[in-house]
Amino acid sequence: MKLLKSTATVGSATILSRILGFIRDVVLAKVFGASGETDAFFLAFKIPNFMRRLFAEGSFSLAFVPVLSEYKATGDREALRDLVDHVTGTLASVLLILTAIGVIAAPLVLSIFAPGWLVDGRPEFDLSAGMLRITFPYILLISLTALSGGILNTFERFLIPALTPVLLNISLIAAALLLAGSMQVPVTALAWGVLAAGVVQLALQVPALARLGLMPRPRWGWRHSGVRRILKLMIPTLIGSSVAQVNLLVDSVIATFLVSGSVSWLYYSDRLLEFPLGVLGIALATVILPNLSQKHARASTAEFSATLDWALRLAVIVTVPAAVGLIMLAGPILITLFQYDAFQPNDVRMSSYSLIAYSAGLPAFIAVKVLAPGYYARQDTRTPVRIAITAMVTNMLLNLLFVGALLGYGFAGPHAGLALASAVAAYLNAGLLYRGLRKQGVYVPDRGWLRVWLSVILACAVMGGLLLFMTQDIESWLQASAMMRVRKLGLAILFGVIVFVFVTMVTGLKKHDLLRGST
């Protein structure tokens, strides 16, 4: 029950962030639409955001939290403070150098991520390079924020780190509505909004760290034993945690060779996928990593397996219907949220193609976030790295295969092939992680899985049929007013949830299926 409550806390904060994220994207779509200029911003933001997820919330957190948990378990407060001080000083120094290089060499960095714009001499390249110089320092600020969040999560203070993303959404909304009109190129206001958000997000962590008595006093510590252990773990986890992010970035690189708007269509569909991915996937990963690390430190193998089983069971019960819902409601959701002013019906159609493809992989994306901590908590970094490389190479090959096939068939939205390739690669990644945990004897499935699967599949089939019936006349959604769209979408979601819950209850899914293993 304790883990479920912690997950609910993180999930609730993430819901608030995602709702504001939707409002943010509605504002961006209404003010800027989907164009070459928005493509330029989204890529200038995606590069530091990619590095944030790769380094700060990816490899660093996965290496830092298990080591910090071990220091905490010893009860030596001075040793723990010493670790925090040296990790902070080392991380800040390295990131400061990296940020300076990124700002100075922004066009060179962008040429790696947007070769299509450079080759074609498109104006998006210069615009995006200018904005990248503004957004690149975000990686320094948000990485220090992630460090603070790792400390707070280890001490089971989940709320403040989970609320932090809210500030980014507020900052971008304010930039779009209040600053864009005064800028020579309006979209550049968003770049300044990103930078401002980084400062505010870091500042939010300070009072919580002070209350814990763990406000860092940065010290250079390259030779510190704890820092060296974290660095040793970071090298392989850098690859292991990066698969989903690298896959999304590769999508953007290839999209720069496609028609204008492709980057934006992928962005808007990915943003919708981020709602369930953040609410459950990130919440689960955030909660179970320190929990698994502590159980491994205590050699509680049965409890370790039970925690993984609970997380996987919860993921199946929530993400499979979420994926079906996103697939069936792709058009109505995009119309309701974004199809105003600059965002045209064709943008809805193109974005829906990639949203459907991404949504098909949602259960796998979240399964990876649940299964990978099963390795990192035990400081086994080699196995997930090998699996990650396999999935990454597969994704790149499938990108070329699927996009090439769609172009060959003359399909209007070849960018959807990029999303589909990411989904298939995620299933490969999750499947190999699962098999590895079973072979190592680390995870032994608890009883009741057959009942869970049969109940969820039947409920999704009934729910999918209902949603198809309720949303088949897409033209009526395009003609409806904003309030009518919201009402129709709200009813569709409400009826879908009611039907899913009712069918699962009738088919034998019980409350203890959600609670077993969560203590």
Considering only residues 268 and 439, tell me which one the structure prediction assigns the higher pLDDT: 439
Rounded to 10 degrees, the C-alpha dihedral 391/438/357/46 comes to -50
The residue written with tokens 């997000």 in the block is 201
Report percent pLDDT > 90 for the chain. 19
pLDDT, position 32: 79
DSSP string, 353-373: HHHHHHHHTHHHHHHHHHHTH
- Do residues 163 and 133 lie in contact, with contact meaning Cβ atoms separated by under 8 Å? no
pLDDT over 70 at 439, yes or no: yes
Is the backbone of residue 75 left (phi > 0), alpha (psi -120 to 50) or beta? Answer: left
pLDDT, position 513: 61
pLDDT digits (tens, 9 = 90+) for 454-510: 999 999 999 999 999 888 777 888 888 888 888 999 999 999 999 999 999 888 777
SS3 assignment, position 220: coil
Give the CA diameter of the chain: 65
pTM over 0.85: no
What is the distance between the alpha carbons of residues 418 and 403, in angstroms, rounded to a whole number? 7
Amino acid identity at 276: P
Give the model's confidence band at 519: pLDDT under 50 very low, under 70 low, under 90 confident, else very high: low
pLDDT over 80 at 249, yes or no: no
The residue written with tokens 């290089």 in the block is 101
Q: How far is CA 350 from CA 16, 252, 253, 395, in A?
A: 27, 15, 18, 21
User: If we measure between CA atoms, which residue out of 70, 76, 56, 64 comes closest to residue 140?
Assistant: 56
**Averaged pLDDT, 336-343:** 75
Give the model's confidence band at 262: pLDDT under 50 very low, under 70 low, under 90 confident, else very high: confident
Give the model's confidence band at 514: pLDDT under 50 very low, under 70 low, under 90 confident, else very high: low
Give the model's confidence band at 516: pLDDT under 50 very low, under 70 low, under 90 confident, else very high: low
**Averaged pLDDT, 77-100:** 87
Q: Establish how many alpha carbons lie within 13 A of residue 89's alpha carbon, considering only the half-sphere containing its beta carbon.
A: 16
Distant-in-sequence, close-in-space partners of 260: CB < 8 Å, separation ≥ 6: 35, 36, 39, 124
Structure tokens that stand for 202 in this block? 């870091």
Distant-in-sequence, close-in-space partners of 188: CB < 8 Å, separation ≥ 6: 41, 127, 130, 131, 134
Give the model's confidence band at 119: pLDDT under 50 very low, under 70 low, under 90 confident, else very high: low
Considering only residues 276 and 397, tell me which one the structure prediction assigns the higher pLDDT: 397
pLDDT over 80 at 222, yes or no: no
pLDDT over 80 at 52, yes or no: no
**Average pLDDT, whole number, for the chain?**
82
Q: How many CB atoms lie within 10 A of CB 77?
A: 12
What is the distance between the alpha carbons of residues 245 and 255, in angstroms, rounded to a whole number? 15
Q: How far is CA 65 from CA 161, 165, 387, in A?
A: 14, 20, 22
Considering only residues 71 and 453, tell me which one the structure prediction assigns the higher pLDDT: 453
pLDDT over 80 at 137, yes or no: yes
Considering only residues 344 and 247, tell me which one the structure prediction assigns the higher pLDDT: 344
SS3 assignment, position 340: coil
**Averaged pLDDT, 405-416:** 86
pLDDT over 60 at 1, yes or no: no
What is the distance between the alpha carbons of residues 71 and 225, in angstroms, rounded to a whole number? 12
pLDDT over 70 at 248, yes or no: no
Give the model's confidence band at 432: pLDDT under 50 very low, under 70 low, under 90 confident, else very high: very high
**Averaged pLDDT, 90-114:** 86
Alpha helices in 372-473 (DSSP H): 373-376, 382-408, 416-439, 449-471
pLDDT, position 363: 93
φ, ψ of residue 186 to 5 degrees: the values are -50, -40
**Averaged pLDDT, 397-420:** 88
Distant-in-sequence, close-in-space partners of 503: CB < 8 Å, separation ≥ 6: 455, 458, 459, 462, 463
What is the distance between the alpha carbons of residues 442 and 251, in angstroms, rounded to a whole number? 34
Burial annotation 141-154 (CB, 10 A radius, 16+ → b, else e): bbbbbbbbbbbbbb
CA 56 centroid distance within chain: 13
The contacts found for 386-391 with CB under 8 angstroms, 24 or more apart, are: 387/240, 387/429, 387/432, 387/433, 387/436, 388/239, 388/240, 388/241, 388/242, 388/243, 388/429, 389/239, 390/428, 390/429, 390/432, 391/243, 391/425, 391/426, 391/428, 391/429, 391/432
- Lowest mean pLDDT across 121-130, 133-142, 218-227, 236-245: 236-245
**Averaged pLDDT, 28-37:** 75
**Averaged pLDDT, 227-233:** 81
Give the model's confidence band at 245: pLDDT under 50 very low, under 70 low, under 90 confident, else very high: low
- Lowest mean pLDDT across 152-161, 195-204, 213-222: 152-161
pLDDT over 90 at 335, yes or no: no
CA 375 centroid distance within chain: 19
- Lowest mean pLDDT across 140-154, 172-186, 288-302, 354-368: 288-302
**Averaged pLDDT, 416-424:** 91
Give the model's confidence band at 171: pLDDT under 50 very low, under 70 low, under 90 confident, else very high: very high
pLDDT, position 324: 95
